[in-house]
Chain A
């Protein structure tokens, strides 16, 4: 694998996020929503903790189910529509280098979007005692969760030329994984542990408690690997 190629795609993609309104809208809206919820939870609960904040259903929903599909929807679909995919795939670059470049640029944008939470931590730190470790693992959980859903979004955008379809399908898939945990009670008890392992909810709440369990890491990394693999298969399908 040629990392120079990944870097070339990565910086071009990141630049194009910042050349379009997408990056700014996502970052600003996230800052507004998170800032508001942070202030609300902080002053209501009156405890120096960010658990309320990271556990917020609304923040998670907006970030994982709306923003990520919005960021990834054009990644391959636009290339397919404009025909530039043919241009890229006839350059001396492998499919996987192209996918990783695009994938990592979307992940970087999300990490940048999440960076104001560090500011929130510092604010609380100034006002009262707050443990650093749970904050760090919560942030890590958010990043892992984003990494998984970005994989979903990139894959979905590789199967259609239409950005809107890519967006809607990614939203539905992300919503499924996101909400599965909330409906565990409808499954028979013997299946619950299986489904529980599939839900993102379960792992996110685990890691937010400050426990980095290998089962959690295996879950996220296998999901990321799987979505990237599917994207590669989808790009290769032109050859079938």
Chain B
């Protein structure tokens, strides 16, 4: 196991930030840490990276205990802290060389490693510029380059895509996915789509506790929400009669008339969990001599699960 967290608890004074959590992550896994602000994501990451000690419980990285073998753990790690701290008065090349030296990379390999990172993270065009003058997206790339320059076994990324534009987000996600094949990546986020897009395992954490742990698909399947179909029909029918007819369907719980679009009517039809209502609805609409313009079954999303578990 690359990361092994056992019964981890962290108090800040009287405030309980992390409450007895345990989880593991292995090589090739991209683990998404999901939770509302203040849930304990960053605290857990700070403990894994040896910045803060646990109040109780243990954390091991590649078999090294974070408290007893702190320096060994740090050699195995790449860490992008929250808010991506950087030295704004240094230029990109100097900064990466500085970090490489601190990481203990032999002097004759520093240049090679740095150039590799500049290429991987797309920093060629800004290599000589002061970091303070770079755009947020480039700063984030410098932060990632910093975290990866020592080719770490374990990458801890605290909100790696925050503040990036959509194109940059996709680039960074692809980069993380590529890296995740041969490393252990733990990333925190409160953007739900990020988890579905990048992670192969999700841990949802709320008020310091793990409330869910599984693949994104598993979590979606666990959802207790109901299925929803959005139906649009042509306006040449009686909307009340149609609504009543739809309500007669056995697995339909509720029919909601949303709006009159002028030439079409829009309905939301709520059914039991797991039921695909589209076929029966389509039959019913035809019986009513109405015309289906569009119909869409809405999957219960990770968003629903998240809200369910963390409210």
Residues of A with Cβ closer than 8 Å to B? Answer: 4-5, 8-9, 12, 15-16, 19-20, 82-84, 86-94, 238-239
Contact between B46 and A84 (Cβ–Cβ < 8 Å)? no
Cβ contacts under 8 Å, B99 to chain A: 91
**A186, B83: Cα distance in complex, Å:** 53
For residue B286, CB closer than 8 A to chain A, the reply is no
Interface residues of B in 7-48 (CB under 8 A from A): 46
**A130, B98: Cα distance in complex, Å:** 46
Residues of B with Cβ closer than 8 Å to A? Answer: 46, 49-53, 71, 74-75, 77, 79, 81-83, 85-90, 94, 98-99, 101-104, 146
Sample of 17 more A-B contacts, CB < 8 Å, known A82-B87, A83-B83, A238-B52 = A5-B102, A8-B98, A12-B90, A15-B94, A19-B89, A82-B86, A83-B85, A84-B85, A84-B86, A84-B87, A87-B85, A90-B50, A90-B79, A90-B81, A91-B102, A92-B104, A239-B52
**A93, B50: Cα distance in complex, Å:** 12
Contact between B89 and A93 (Cβ–Cβ < 8 Å)? no
A-B contact pairs, 26 of them (CB 8 A): A4-B104, A8-B101, A8-B102, A12-B90, A16-B89, A19-B89, A82-B85, A82-B86, A83-B83, A84-B87, A86-B46, A86-B51, A86-B81, A87-B85, A87-B146, A88-B102, A90-B50, A90-B51, A91-B102, A92-B74, A92-B102, A92-B104, A94-B71, A238-B51, A238-B52, A239-B52
The 5 closest A-B pairs by CB, nearest first: A83-B85, A91-B102, A8-B101, A92-B74, A84-B85
Cβ contacts under 8 Å, A8 to chain B: 98, 101-102
B29 to chain A, nearest CB (A): 21
**A141, B38: Cα distance in complex, Å:** 52
B212 to chain A, nearest CB (A): 28
B167 to chain A, nearest CB (A): 26
A109 to chain B, nearest CB (A): 16
Cβ contacts under 8 Å, A84 to chain B: 85-87
A73 to chain B, nearest CB (A): 16
A235 to chain B, nearest CB (A): 11
Contact between B53 and A239 (Cβ–Cβ < 8 Å)? yes
A196 to chain B, nearest CB (A): 43
Cβ contacts under 8 Å, A16 to chain B: 87, 89-90
A6 to chain B, nearest CB (A): 11
A83 partner, pick from B52, B81, B89, B98, beta carbons under 8 A:
B81
Known: A16-B89, A84-B86, A92-B75. A4 touches B51 (CB 8 A): no
Cβ contacts under 8 Å, B90 to chain A: 12, 16
Of the listed residues B75, B82, B101, B102, the one surrounded by the most CB atoms of chain A closer than 10 A to its CB is: B102
**A5, B46: Cα distance in complex, Å:** 22
Contact between B81 and A87 (Cβ–Cβ < 8 Å)? yes
**A16, B103: Cα distance in complex, Å:** 20
**A86, B75: Cα distance in complex, Å:** 15
Cβ contacts under 8 Å, B102 to chain A: 5, 8-9, 88, 91-93
Cβ contacts under 8 Å, A88 to chain B: 102
Contact between A92 and B103 (Cβ–Cβ < 8 Å)? yes
Cβ contacts under 8 Å, A87 to chain B: 79, 81, 85, 146
Cβ contacts under 8 Å, B75 to chain A: 92
Cβ contacts under 8 Å, B146 to chain A: 87
Cβ contacts under 8 Å, A83 to chain B: 81-83, 85
**A15, B101: Cα distance in complex, Å:** 15
**A9, B49: Cα distance in complex, Å:** 20
Of the listed residues A8, A16, A88, the one surrounded by the most CB atoms of chain B closer than 10 A to its CB is: A8
**A83, B71: Cα distance in complex, Å:** 20
Cβ contacts under 8 Å, A91 to chain B: 74, 99, 102-103
**A87, B90: Cα distance in complex, Å:** 15
**A238, B53: Cα distance in complex, Å:** 9
Residue in chain A with minimal CB distance to B143: A87
**A82, B146: Cα distance in complex, Å:** 16
Residue in chain B with minimal CB distance to A19: B89
Known: A4-B101, A12-B98. A89 touches B51 (CB 8 A): yes
**A12, B99: Cα distance in complex, Å:** 10
**A94, B72: Cα distance in complex, Å:** 12
**A94, B74: Cα distance in complex, Å:** 11
B153 to chain A, nearest CB (A): 14
Residue in chain B with minimal CB distance to A239: B53
B4 to chain A, nearest CB (A): 19
B18 to chain A, nearest CB (A): 15
Cβ contacts under 8 Å, A86 to chain B: 46, 51, 81, 85
Contact between B101 and A20 (Cβ–Cβ < 8 Å)? no
Cβ contacts under 8 Å, A94 to chain B: 71
Contact between A90 and B77 (Cβ–Cβ < 8 Å)? yes
